Structure 1
Amino acid sequence: MKKIIFLLFLISFNLFSQVGGESIYNFINLTGSARQAALGGKVLTLMDDVNQPIWNPSTINKNLHNQLSVSYMNYLADLSLGTASYAYTVNEKVGTIHTSINYLNYGNFIGADEDGIETGNFRAYDLSFSVGYSYNFQNSDFYIGSNIKFINSVIENYSSFGVGADMGFIYFNEIQPYVFTLVIRNIGYQVSAYDEVRENLPTQIEFGASYKLENVPITWHLTLDNLQKWNIAVSNPSNEIIDIDGNATEENITFFDNAFRHLSIGAELFSENAFNIRLGYNFRRSKELMLVDERTFSGFTAGFGLKMKKMKFNYAFSKYHPASNASTFSLSIDLN
């Protein structure tokens, strides 16, 4: 198992990756966990959340043993995302294994031929199943982990199947107030395509860090994503400048504007208490979904968590656009 993890980690550095809109199976980059969604949607350093290994397999550890979580997100345009996660420690020698299922339901559609005559209803959905494992280097605070994903996408009578993997490397010490991690997500291959053209998986390289303040009950989270591609900003046609002669000048994307689109931040208040509050901000979402000359608060996220003996309930509100927002609910159960 350790040899397989190291091999996948080395291979991943040689892969070329793309950003959203240039790949397939982008649903696997949707945040299904309410806690993660409330902290900006990109957090990678949560060692006490059984949902976190979906995004960062190196966070799999023995403290997640027999933890079960189910999540539901009411996404844009009435799409719904369901997520289930579970971790089990086999024994001290083998370690902990994590598994998860993500299901994105697009709903039912009415089919029609070229003449507009209805041919009946059809459905569309995306589904992924993953198995993950991590290894703690002996006498150290470093962990390395890997997920293997099996992905299926269906649109009416057309379907596609793919296989992907995640690799994560994290530094975590229970005494230290900080955590650092590097993750390479969605390395893989589209085994069967909708047609004859195969597409790339939405591979991403991400760096995450968190810091717990000593005298204030706040934990800060920071994530840098899409590190495999620097220029991810695209000029907005609505921001073109037209002079008196009718000549249009494209929006100028500055260095700092592009840099901040790689960043998301979050803050968790009273993280160890029975009730906690979470806030986050996703800079890229804010810039890409903003409206000209109108404050929309796109990119803002918020939520809370409740701990009830062996159960945890989390809620997140994600601001996307004045026309639509998203709510995420997660329920975690300790089965020990």
Structure 2
Amino acid sequence: MQLKKWTSALLLGISCFAAKAQVAGGQAAFEYLRMPNSPHVSALGGINVSDPDQDISFALQNPSLMREGLHNQIGLNYNSYYAGISIMNLAYGYHVESIKTSFALGVQYINYGSFTQTDDVGNIYGDFKANDYAITLAASRSYGEHWRYGASLKLANSSLYDKKATALLTDVGVTYHDTGSLWTIGVVAKNMGVTLKKFNPDNTAEPLPFDLQIGVSKRFKHLPLRLMATIHHLYEWDIAYNNPADVTSTNLFGGDTATSKEASFSSKLFRHFIFGGELLLGKRIAISVAYNDQRRQELAIPDRKAVSGFSFGAGVYLNKFQVHYARSYYSVAGAYNEFGLNMCLNKIMGIGKTGDKINWNKEYDDNWE
């Protein structure tokens, strides 16, 4: 009964918030919150809210994926993005047995580097820096045999020269997992909240990067394969961007032009989908591949799409460590490579009797795999 009330309140809140958030990517503040938080997530297309893999980074994609099996796991990745931008992500999970609640902590930091400060005629006055960061605290509990529900609270901050903006946001998620049929279904509403501080106090607050996502994952009992599908922007049908600058010449001299056509029904539909799969080579190696249609449609050059929108990755699972790699193709300009490391802290360093008291040394079987 409590779950029904909680779910009804969640759906009502989402519907009210979504009615005010009819914007797609690129039109909201704190857009960096949409970025994938680990190589494993990147390898699966940039969004995944239903992967039951024993990887702490998914707890920040969907807070209800946090569970006992991720206790005392830490994930860290630091990578160089395009144009010299550096990105750092950290995730940590801890289960508190006394209240039967699993917690996750996440830190995201993006450094855009230094810029030259000039006036409107080019006089140089020095340098300034720009960066973004977000701190996330998530909690999750089980309900019955197959359900988990969770929520996270985020403090997001953007800094540009002497201007700053701050927001307080929340994610709310529900996950259904059946260990018998190996189906996992996740639903999450992301980035609902308020702007606490604006870059310009005189302006109205910009929209936050709200999204409503659902994901489905299926692992096969007699085949080392897991297939996944994620649907994003469920609250908005048309997320296609028809660029008015996309014109084509219809004669040799370029005098006559024709603008690009509006996206078709099928194109609008598939922009919401990310398809992925993982080949599980025993318990130690996983190979990932995914296709993000929106990424391909928006970033690929029309006559040279190549593998834009595709991403690939691999994970090596050892007793105390996990190593993850991803290669994402945004456009023909080049691919983005990422490396990440996950560690089980209670297997690396014990802290004796004190660790027993605070549950540090406890190891839980992850029956989701």
TM-score exceeds 0.5:
yes
Letter in 1 for 2:185: F
Residue pair 2:296, 2:305 contacting (<8 A) in 1 also: no
**Offset of 1:227 from its aligned partner?**
0.8
Equivalent residue for 2:189?
A: 184
Return the alpha-carbon distance in structure 2 between the equivalents of residues 295 and 191 of structure 1. 41
Q: 2:55 aligns with which of 44, 49, 52?
A: 49
Equivalent residue for 1:322?
A: 332
Return the alpha-carbon distance in structure 2 between the equivalents of residues 317 and 239 of structure 1. 28
Q: How many residues align?
A: 334
Equivalent residue for 1:213?
A: 220
CA offsets, 1:95-129, max 9 Å, x none?
11111000011011111122311111111000000
Letter in 1 for 2:49: L
Q: 2:287 aligns with which of 272, 277, 285?
A: 277
Q: 1:119 aligns with which of 105, 118, 125?
A: 125
**Offset of 1:229 from its aligned partner?**
0.9
Equivalent residue for 1:288?
A: 298
**Offset of 1:276 from its aligned partner?**
1.7
Return the alpha-carbon distance in structure 1 between the equivalents of residues 210 and 16 of structure 2. 12
Return the alpha-carbon distance in structure 2 between the equivalents of residues 150 and 224 of structure 1. 25
Q: 1:145 to 1:288 in 2, by over 3 A?
A: same
**Is 1:61 paired with 2:67?**
yes
SS in 1 for 2:121: coil
Q: 1:222 to 1:122 in 2, by over 3 A?
A: same
Equivalent residue for 2:240?
A: 233
Residue pair 1:32, 1:72 contacting (<8 A) in 2 also: no
Equivalent residue for 1:162?
A: 167
SS in 2 for 1:20: coil
Letter in 1 for 2:194: Y
Q: 1:11 aligns with which of 10, 13, 16?
A: 13
Letter in 2 for 1:111: Q
**Offset of 1:241 from its aligned partner?**
5.7
**Offset of 1:85 from its aligned partner?**
0.4
**Is 1:202 paired with 2:204?**
no
Q: 2:45 aligns with which of 40, 47, 60?
A: 40
Equivalent residue for 2:365?
A: none
Return the alpha-carbon distance in structure 1 between the equivalents of residues 231 and 152 of structure 2. 20
Structure 2 stretches lacking a partner, 5+ long: 347-369
Residue pair 1:164, 1:189 contacting (<8 A) in 2 also: yes
Equivalent residue for 2:350?
A: none
CA offsets, 1:15-34, max 9 Å, x none?
03221121000101100211
**Offset of 1:68 from its aligned partner?**
0.5
Q: Which structure: larger Rg? A: 2
Equivalent residue for 2:312?
A: 302
SS in 1 for 2:263: coil
Letter in 2 for 1:308: L
Task: Write 1 or 2 for the structure with the bigger share of helix.
Answer: 2
**Offset of 1:292 from its aligned partner?**
2.4
CA offsets, 1:223-244, max 9 Å, x none?
0001111101122457646657
**Is 1:95 paired with 2:101?**
yes
**Offset of 1:186 from its aligned partner?**
0.4
Residue pair 1:242, 1:249 contacting (<8 A) in 2 also: no
**Is 1:105 paired with 2:111?**
yes
After superposition, the CA RMSD in angstroms is 2.1
Residue pair 1:236, 1:251 contacting (<8 A) in 2 also: no
**Is 1:76 paired with 2:82?**
yes
Q: 1:216 to 1:8 in 2, by over 3 A?
A: closer
Structure 1 stretches lacking a partner, 5+ long: none
Identify which range, 279-288 or 168-177, moves more after superposition. Answer: 168-177
Residue pair 1:57, 1:133 contacting (<8 A) in 2 also: yes
**Is 1:25 paired with 2:30?**
yes
Return the alpha-carbon distance in structure 2 between the equivalents of residues 312 and 38 of structure 1. 15
Return the alpha-carbon distance in structure 2 between the equivalents of residues 186 and 127 of structure 1. 14
Return the alpha-carbon distance in structure 1 between the equivalents of residues 11 and 157 of structure 2. 24
TM-score, normalising length from structure 1? 0.93
Return the alpha-carbon distance in structure 1 between the equivalents of residues 71 and 334 of structure 2. 37
**Offset of 1:136 from its aligned partner?**
1.2
Return the alpha-carbon distance in structure 2 between the equivalents of residues 261 and 234 of structure 1. 10
Percent identical pairs in the alignment equals 27
Deviation >3 Å, runs of 4+: 2-10, 236-245
Equivalent residue for 1:135?
A: 141
Residue pair 1:240, 1:251 contacting (<8 A) in 2 also: no
Letter in 1 for 2:48: V
Return the alpha-carbon distance in structure 1 between the equivalents of residues 6 and 91 of structure 2. 21
TM-score, normalising length from structure 2? 0.85
